[in-house]
Amino acid sequence: MKRTIQFVAALLVPLLLAAPASSGEIKIIDYNVWYGIDGRGTIKMGEYETPEARAERYSGLVAGLKALDPDIVGIQEANKVRPYSKRLARDTDRDAVWKVGNSGIKIFGLGFPVNFSAGLAVFARKNNSLELLSSKRLSGGGIQREWFSAHLEGVRYAMAARVRIDNKPLIIFNLHTNFSLEPGEGTTALIDRAIARGEIPDKSRGDIVRKIEEGSRITDNDIRALGDYVKETVRKYDHPYIIMGDLNRTPESGVIRRLIAELGLIDTWAVKNPSGAGHTWDPTVNTNTRYDGSPFYADGKTPRKGVAALEAEFDRTVPRRIDFILLSKHFRPDSVKSARLVFNEPVNGRFVSDHIALEVVLKGMP
C-alpha cells in the first residue's frame, strides 16, 4: 500500500507542476530513453536490468509524458525501435515516425543480436500532420532498413520529420552521435590516473591516445555531417527547424560552437539558464549512470579494459550537458518561454533513463 501511495504521489507532482501549454505555445521534450544494453555480444547483447525493471522504466516514461503533455517528443535509444515507437505512440495518444539504426543482421525483424534493434523516433500530437521526411547516416557502414539490416559496426543516424503547427510547417531533426572521449586535459588526467593505479601499462599510452583521437574524430564528423544534412534538407524544404538529440559533446566543445555559429542556431537552455549547468548526464543524481559507468560489463564479471575502462570512469565521475534542443535562426531568443530539466527524479527509486530529459516551451511559431 505504501509503495502504491509513493508511486501515485511521484506521478502527481509533475502533473501539478506541468500545466498544459497555453494556446500558441509549443512544448518540446528531448530524451535519450536508454536501452539498458552494454553493446557486447553477437547472438544476444548483455542486459543491465531485468525485464521487470525495464517495464517499470517504460511505465514511468508513459506516465511522465502524459503528465507533461508535450506537443513534440524526440527520443534516442528506442529498442526495438519499431514496436517501441508504435507502443509509445499508442500509450501516449501520439503519432510517431522512426528510423532504425544499430540492429545487426536482421530480416523482417529476425536475426542477431536478438535483443537489439535501436534507433530514433519523433512523436507529435495527432492533429500536427507528422511525417518522416528523410534520414542520413552520420557514421558507420552496412545497410539499415525497416525490414532488413546488415552491419557489424556501430552506426549513427539523424532523421528529419515535419509537423504543422497553426498550419505552419516545422522540421524536427533528431540524432544521436557516436560516444567518445574528447582529447584534452581532462582525458589526459584520466589516462594518468589509470596508469598510476596500474590499470593501464604506461607503454600502452600511445595506443590509448590514438584510439581516443579516432573515436573523437568520428563524433566530431557526426556533428559536421549533421550540419551538412540540415543545410541540404532546408534547401529542399525552406521551413523553420529544431535540432534535438544526444550529441555526446558539451556546449564548450569546438565542434558544437562551430555548428551553432555556422547555422545561426539558438541554444534554448543557454538562453533561459545562462548560469545553469543543465547536466543531462549526471552521475551525482541519476543512479542509472552506474551501469555504463561500471568497471564491468553487464555480466558483472568481465572487466572493461583500455579505452572502454576510461570511458566508464568518465561516465561515473563527470556530469555534463550533452542533450540539446537548438532552434533555427527563423526563431529569436525571446521565442523561448522556458527551458528546464524533466525526468530528473526517480519514481519508486528508479529513474526512467540514465539521461535526464530537456523540456523547452516556445511562445509559438515564427
Does residue 9 fall inside a structural domain?
no
- pLDDT attached to residue 109: 86
Encode pLDDT of 275-328 as tens digits: 999 999 999 999 999 999 999 999 999 999 999 999 999 999 999 999 999 999
Q: What is the pLDDT of residue 4?
A: 42
Residue 315 C-alpha from the chain's centroid: 15
20, pLDDT greater than 50: no
For the ranges 6-15, 123-132, 156-165, 274-283, the lowest mean pLDDT is seen at: 6-15
Residue 225, domain member (yes or no):
yes
> What is the spatial distance between Cα 136 and Cα 158, in angstroms, rounded to a whole number?
5
Q: In what order do the strands lie in the sheet with 156-165?
A: 131-139, 156-165, 168-176, 241-246, 323-327, 266-267
Residue 3: pLDDT above 70? no
Residue 347: which pLDDT band, with cuts at 50, 70 and 90? confident
Q: Where does residue 325 rank: exposed (0-12), middle (13-18), buried (19+ CB within 10 A)?
A: buried
| Predicted pLDDT of residue 212 | 98
User: Minimal CA–CA distance to 94: which of 77, 75, 71?
Assistant: 71
Rg (CA), the chain: 20
Contact 5, 51 (CB under 8 A): no
DSSP string across 173-193: EEEEPPP----SHHHHHHHHH
**Nearest of 243, 33, 188, 30 to residue 119 by alpha carbon:** 33
- pLDDT, tens digit (0-9, with 9 covering 90-100), for 178-235: 999 999 999 999 999 999 999 999 999 999 999 999 999 999 999 999 999 999 999 9
Q: Which cell numbers hold the place of 117?
A: 534493434
Within a domain: residue 155? Answer: yes
Torsions phi, psi for 279 (to 5 deg)? -65, 115
Total domains in the chain come to 1
Distance from C-alpha of 302 to C-alpha of 118, rounded to nearest angstrom: 24
- What is the average pLDDT across 167-175? 98
- C-alpha cell read off for 64: 511522465
The strand pair at 105-107 and 148-150 is best described as: antiparallel
Query: What is residue 338's three-state secondary structure?
Result: strand
Q: Are 315 and 283 in contact (CB under 8 A)?
A: yes
pLDDT of the residue at 23 = 56
CATH number of the CATH domain containing 178 = 3.60.10.10
Is residue 44 situated within a structural domain?
yes
Identify the pLDDT of residue 22. 42
The reply to whether 2 falls in a domain is: no
pLDDT at 13: 45
Is the pLDDT at 344 greater than 90, yes or no? yes
Task: Provide the pLDDT confidence category of residue 146 given band limits of 50, 70 and 90.
Answer: confident
Does any domain span residue 5?
no
| 326-343 residue pLDDT tens | 999 999 999 999 999 999
Residues of the chain with pLDDT > 90, as a percent, come to: 90
Is the pLDDT confidence value at 134 over 70?
yes
- Could you list the residue range(s) of the whole structural domain that residue 60 is in? 26-362
Q: Output the pTM of the full model.
A: 0.93
pLDDT at 5 > cutoff 50: no
CB atoms within 10 A of CB 53: 14
Confidence check: pLDDT of 14 > 70 = no
- What is the arrangement of strands in the sheet containing 110-112, beginning at the earlier edge strand? 110-112, 105-107, 148-150, 143-144
User: What is the residue-averaged pLDDT of the chain?
Assistant: 93
In a domain, 6, yes or no: no
Q: Annotate 230-267 with b (16+ C-beta within 10 A) or e (fewer).
A: beebbeeeebbbbbbbbbbbebebebbeebbeebebbb
Q: What are phi and psi of 219, to 5 degrees?
A: -60, -50
| Span 246-269, pLDDT tens digits | 999 999 999 999 999 999 999 999
* pLDDT surpasses 60 at 10: no
Give pLDDT, residue 17. 44
Mean pLDDT of 119-145: 97
